[in-house]
Amino acid sequence: MHTSSATDQPPPTAGTVDDETWQIRRSGADLDRLGETESIFALSNGWVGWRGVLDEGAPGEMPGSYVNGLHERREQTYPEEGYAFPQANDTVISAPNAALIRLWVDDEPLDISTGTLHRHERVLDLRTGVLRRETEWTSPAGRRVLIRSTRLVSLPRRPVAAVRYEVEPLDAPVELRVCSDLLANERVPERSDDPRAASVPTDPLTAEAHQANGLDGVLVHRTGRSEQRVAVAVSHLLDAPDTVTTTCDDVPDRVRLTVAGRLHPGERLRLTKFAAYECGPVDGPPADELADLVVAEADAARADGFDALLTDQRASLDAAWQVADVLLDGDAELQQAIRFAMFHLIQAGRPDGDRTISAKGLTGNGYDGHVMWDTETYVLPVLTYLAPAVARSALAWRHSHLPEARERAAELRLAGATFPWRTIGGRECSGYWPAGTAALHVNADIADAVLRYVAVTDDQRFLAEAGLELLVETARLWHGYGHWSETGAFHLHGVTGPDEYSALGDDNVFTNLMARRNLRGAADAAERHSDAAGRLGVDPAEIAGWRAAADALFIPYDSERGVHEQAAGFTRQPEWNFADTDEDDYPLLLHFPYLELYRKQVVKQADLVLAMQHCPGEFTAEEKARNFAYYEARTVRDSSLSAAPQAVLAAEVGHLDLAYDLFAESVTQDLADLGDKTADGLHLASLAGAWLALVQGFGGLRDDRGVLSFDPRLPRRIDRLSFSLRWRGHRLRVTLTPNEARYELPDAAPDATVELWHHGEHLRVTGTEAVTRPMPPVPDPGPEPPSPPGRRPDRRSAA
């Protein structure tokens, strides 16, 4: 050491349409879409993430080898300082990259942009959780070779990733050189054309230890300001003719195994690399101990073998797909897209970690790798129903950062806890205070995720411990922040809601309704777990104050127009001039000043509509229909967060074609790169929102009252929709056709029972037999409400 599953249906037959919906395939060099493909083909397990960069690393757009939570800190700078402005920003950085395997053919590097590319195909297999690649290439000097690789990031083994790389000459002997690298401080290009792109630190890792030993090696590095340590080890298996030679060398930022020799047609060189990653604070295990840990993990993976990793990966996914798979008959492309979405949600988080899920997961460095309100509002509602242990882990991560949230509240002269709008390490990283500091709704979003998790799982132990403390501290924030008017109403002034084309409004409806749910949920939990609440200093007077504030929260309503106001006075603001807005002017934030956006009736993403999705019991059916029509005409969907909530409400009010088209936009956000931002990483909230669009929109699932209810209705393009979810320890499967809804407990004991509501009828589903009910006709909602000119989603429903 130098110091310096399958679903319940049988597996499809290979080559069938259904089989193709389990695979994402890209053929050809596709050089103009490298970044997008790298994100789509990213593999992760909630702890380790490898972007889908080619094995050789080039051509490529954004290399990325991530460990969840690994970041560096830099100073925030402001032209004019202000009190309580965040002073630091955390940015995701790449860990040492163990995915690299470079090839030289007669001293010419393999590069699919040169020579002759006869065949090049990469396939992401959603059933087996691997990325496969096959390339047939002739070098500029005329040497033809075949390359195959299989890559995985192990779902059951947290630290482990692996790749099997094979090369063989096809028509003549060739001199081959294969270099398997473990590389730190890999150059990451900066995308400066968009303010939403990441800032990329240069050489963020400082070497602490490096070693090469036989076919193996290890690197240990540390960050500067964030004070983290990361260790990565690699271990190899080589299957090749005896004529090849191997050498292994190391320098502070690189370990390289070189395999070289002359191969003839019919001979093959196979190199299998096993990698293990660990990360922790510098005051944790020292460098040598962390190195020993990852070496042991990599060696254990090598001892078990690559085939064993493949078997365990398939078994893990079989179990996950048993709940997560969605069957959508009628549109094979969207069937594939929803499986793609669910696959990336499956691999985004872990039940056994102390980390959460960022907006891009471990698929790219977009948004600086920050955790945002997307997690609790879009991703955790889905995972709570499909993988509740993962949702619990993410909420435990929020709880672990309560000290920073309390500190931030005190800094802002507020009570309780104020959680950050953007963060990695628990502190606010947004330097734009009208959004970051004033978007207080993130606190209620976290509370909402706690309440949903407890309702779905009945995990009273979690509620009595971390859950209760999260609810209490966020309730204290609202109770202290709001004020009473002379009329007896309770107001929340000067807040920023979900819509990023508005800021610093009074009584934002989404914020107020979610705060009401927070206050009431905290009161109920404190009364249920009175001893634990007492230890937090909660007394009956405080609980009564929460309930009084919740009951009196002001919800602005424009009686003249018959709609709720997104925030007080919103409907009296000037209208946006859509007639003079060109198609090239979108997204508006890149072509108009916020001063113009903030004072007009133009909505970037669903806000009032999101309030109706999350708090449906607070609105009548007539109010929902009028609100939806009003805001549909003003919502431009310059955010990937918008289509899914709009789809849910469009389905509820009866505009099923529009709902289907909005669902299609949400689920294909990344596969079609609709916002030209997929290269920075996948939009996990949009992928999760697609499940919500199906299950809440067409399945009619509602959960805001703590009971399970369904009001299903199918658009004409869907012949059958089937999905599963967990409720109180049971798997409930729902199958919908145009005429019938079927509810069953396929895995349950005969005495198991789940109670639910179907279109207002109370049902009891047992483990012995399914319950079926007719699908009532959908009332005619009238003409579809207009969208802003040119902003309606593509009319896929008419296909």
- DSSP 3-state of 355: coil
Under DSSP, the state recorded for 7 is -
Report the candidate in 790, 793, 779 with the shortest Cα–Cα distance to residue 655: 779
Query: What pLDDT score does 188 carry?
Result: 79
Residue 352 buriedness (CB in 10 A; 0-12 / 13-18 / 19+)? exposed
Cis peptide before 746 (omega within 30 of 0): no
- DSSP 3-state of 438: coil
Q: Residue 510 in contact with residue 614, Cβ under 8 Å? A: yes
Written as six digits, the tokens of 630 are 């009003």
Instruction: Report the percentage of the chain scoring pLDDT > 70.
Output: 96
Written as six digits, the tokens of 80 are 């004019």
Phi/psi of residue 537, nearest 5 degrees = 85, 15
Tell whether the model's pLDDT for residue 228 goes beyond 70: yes
Please state at what angle helix 287-304 crosses helix 306-324, rounded to 10 degrees.
90
**696 annotated binding-site participant:** no
Q: Which helix (H) or strand (E) holds 769?
A: none
Phi/psi of residue 418, nearest 5 degrees = -120, 105
SS (H, E, C) 51-117: CCCCCCCCCCCCCCEEECCCEEEEECCCCCCCCCCCCEEEEECCCCECCCEEEEECCEECCCCCCEE
Domains of the chain, start order? 2-71+96-201+237-272+305-321 (2.70.98.40)
List, edge to edge, every strand of the sheet that includes 720-727: 327-329, 720-727, 730-736, 740-744, 771-774
pLDDT tens-place string over residues 41-75: 999 999 999 999 999 999 999 999 999 999 999 99
Report the candidate in 159, 127, 199 with the shortest Cα–Cα distance to residue 44: 159
Residue 113 buriedness (CB in 10 A; 0-12 / 13-18 / 19+)? exposed
List the catalytic residue out of 500, 542, 565, 618: 500
List, edge to edge, every strand of the sheet that includes 709-710: 709-710, 753-758, 761-766
CA distance 615 to 63: 41
Cis peptide before 420 (omega within 30 of 0): no
Mean pLDDT of 325-345: 97
Please state at what angle helix 656-667 crosses helix 684-692, rounded to 10 degrees.
150
**691 annotated binding-site participant:** no
Query: What pLDDT score does 240 carry?
Result: 97
Mean pLDDT of 733-742: 97
Written as six digits, the tokens of 411 are 């800094």
Mean pLDDT of 318-333: 97
Tell whether the model's pLDDT for residue 219 goes beyond 80: yes
Radius of gyration in angstroms for the set of CA atoms belonging to the chain, rounded to a whole number: 27
Mean pLDDT of 4-19: 48
Report the candidate in 592, 557, 581, 588 with the shortest Cα–Cα distance to residue 571: 557
Written as six digits, the tokens of 560 are 């003249």
pLDDT tens-place string over residues 452-484: 999 999 999 999 999 999 999 999 999 999 999
Q: Which residues contact 80 (CB under 8 A, 6 or more apart)?
A: none
Tell whether the model's pLDDT for residue 14 goes beyond 60: no
Tell whether the model's pLDDT for residue 197 goes beyond 90: no
Residue 705 buriedness (CB in 10 A; 0-12 / 13-18 / 19+)? exposed
Query: What pLDDT score does 193 carry?
Result: 56
Q: What angle do CA 192, 194, 195 make, to 5 degrees?
A: 95
Residue 551 buriedness (CB in 10 A; 0-12 / 13-18 / 19+)? exposed
Cis peptide before 59 (omega within 30 of 0): yes
Query: What pLDDT score does 192 carry?
Result: 57
One-letter identity of residue 441: H
Predicted confidence band at 198 (pLDDT cuts at 50, 70, 90)?
low
pLDDT tens-place string over residues 743-791: 999 999 999 999 999 999 999 999 999 999 999 999 999 999 999 999 9
Under DSSP, the state recorded for 430 is -
Query: What pLDDT score does 16 carry?
Result: 59
Report the candidate in 435, 426, 446 with the shortest Cα–Cα distance to residue 374: 446
Q: Please, what's the largest Cα pairwise distance for the chain?
A: 90
Mean pLDDT score across all residues of the chain:
94
Q: Residue 66 in contact with residue 83, Cβ under 8 Å? A: no
CA distance 274 to 299: 8
Q: Which residues contact 291 (CB under 8 A, 6 or more apart)?
A: 1, 209, 211, 218, 220, 231, 233
Q: Which residues contact 543 (CB under 8 A, 6 or more apart)?
A: 523, 526, 527
Mean pLDDT of 549-561: 98
Report the candidate in 296, 289, 185, 278 with the shortest Cα–Cα distance to residue 235: 296
Mean pLDDT of 344-363: 94
CA distance 388 to 384: 4
754 CA to centre of own chain: 29
pLDDT tens-place string over residues 612-642: 999 999 999 999 999 999 999 999 999 999 9
Predicted confidence band at 692 (pLDDT cuts at 50, 70, 90)?
very high
Instruction: Return the number of other C-beta atoms located less than 10 Å from residue 161's C-beta.
Output: 29
Q: Is 622 a catalytic residue?
A: no
Written as six digits, the tokens of 547 are 């309930």
**604 annotated binding-site participant:** yes
CA distance 406 to 419: 8
Query: What pLDDT score does 7 carry?
Result: 38
Q: Residue 216 in contact with residue 272, Cβ under 8 Å? A: no
**605 annotated binding-site participant:** yes
CA distance 123 to 399: 39
Q: Which residues contact 292 (CB under 8 A, 6 or more apart)?
A: none
Tell whether the model's pLDDT for residue 19 goes beyond 90: no
Written as six digits, the tokens of 512 are 């107020």
Query: What pLDDT score does 200 carry?
Result: 75
Under DSSP, the state recorded for 797 is G
Tell whether the model's pLDDT for residue 5 goes beyond 50: no
Q: What residues form DSSP beta bridges with 108?
A: 105
Instruction: Return the number of other C-beta atoms located less than 10 Å from residue 249's C-beta.
Output: 11
Phi/psi of residue 189, nearest 5 degrees = -65, 150
Residue for token digits 């806000």? 607
In whole angstroms, how far apart are CA 669 and each of 227, 326, 480, 508, 551? Answer: 36, 18, 40, 28, 39
Residue for token digits 């993962």? 390
pLDDT tens-place string over residues 130-172: 999 999 999 999 999 999 999 999 999 999 999 999 999 999 9
